[in-house]
């Protein structure tokens, strides 16, 4: 396997790596998701509906003695956002892991991140997003019990839509157009709230997942 390192572009702790996956391997992932659809191996994704609201409920005193608003969230309904696959032929998965691992090395070196324990990935998902679909809610990746050990998130474009489908970051005021083969890496915490904008024309297909802090399971990058 190649040990090529990708020269990334960096802004506000978002790493952008061009042409990480070549067209040949993008086509292999597209053929795989088509086969999974034909054989009913795809899974639906769901997200809270548009009427998920955060509203002040009452005033409480914080540790400084100052009043603060507490907020409660209540998902009213859920809607289907896209479909995904999370099982892959080993050879295809290994090619992606090798290339993603090299991007992560560059990211860690660029920001001189001190990792006191290794990071690893359980796996990744291949999402297929049709027109009008997508995860439009602002969110961040370590905001759950299951996600508490997530350190970095990644997104690799396999097929770009004709219009829409950008990955948008709230606090950084940045919007990244989908480009085939491009990988984004960013911190999993609240500083990098983001969303997938609606696909307006065409279809978006992308790989996504997380690197976690732990040395027990998964694939560890060799740093």
Is 60 contained in some domain?
Answer: no
Q: HSE (CB half, 13 Å, CA atoms) of 116?
A: 0
| Cα(85)–Cα(34) distance, integer angstroms | 10
Is 208 contained in some domain?
Answer: yes
Is 222 contained in some domain?
Answer: no
Domain count for the chain, please give it.
Answer: 1
Q: What is the CATH number of the domain that holds 151?
A: 2.60.120.620
3-state secondary structure of 156: strand
pTM for this model (two decimals): 0.80
Is 142 contained in some domain?
Answer: yes
Q: Which of 120, 145, 173 is nearest to 14 (CA)?
A: 173
| Cα(60)–Cα(118) distance, integer angstroms | 40
Is 37 contained in some domain?
Answer: yes
Range of the domain at 126: 9-49+79-213
Could you read off the pLDDT of 136-162 as tens digits, one per residue? 889 999 988 888 899 999 999 999 999
With vertex at residue 171, the alpha carbon angle to CA 174 and CA 182, rounded to the nearest 5 degrees, is 35
Could you read off the pLDDT of 53-67 as tens digits, one per residue? 333 333 333 334 444
Is 94 contained in some domain?
Answer: yes
Predicted confidence at residue 43, as pLDDT, reads 82
């Amino acid at each position: 396997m190649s040990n090529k390192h990708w020269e990334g572009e960096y802004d506000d702790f978002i790493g952008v790596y061009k042409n990480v996956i070549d067209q040949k391997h993008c086509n292999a992932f597209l053929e795989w998701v088509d086969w999974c659809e034909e054989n009913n191996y795809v899974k639906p994704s769901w997200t809270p509906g548009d009427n998920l609201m955060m509203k002040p409920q009452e005033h409480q005193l914080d540790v400084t003695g100052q009043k603060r608003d507490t907020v409660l969230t209540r998902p009213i309904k859920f809607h289907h956002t896209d479909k995904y696959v999370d099982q892959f032929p080993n050879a295809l998965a290994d090619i992606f892991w090798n290339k993603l691992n090299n991007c992560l090395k560059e990211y860690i070196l660029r920001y001189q991140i001190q990792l006191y324990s290794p990071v690893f990935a359980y796996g990744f998902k291949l999402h297929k997003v049709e027109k009008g679909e997508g995860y439009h809610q602002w969110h961040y990746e370590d905001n759950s019990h299951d996600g508490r050990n997530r350190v970095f998130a990644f997104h690799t474009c396999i097929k770009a839509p004709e219009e829409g489908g950008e990955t948008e970051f709230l606090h950084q005021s940045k919007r990244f157009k989908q480009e085939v083969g491009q990988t984004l890496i960013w911190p999993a915490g609240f500083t990098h709230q983001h969303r997938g904008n609606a696909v307006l024309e065409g279809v978006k297909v992308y790989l996504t997942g997380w690197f976690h802090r732990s040395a027990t399971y998964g694939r560890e990058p060799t740093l």
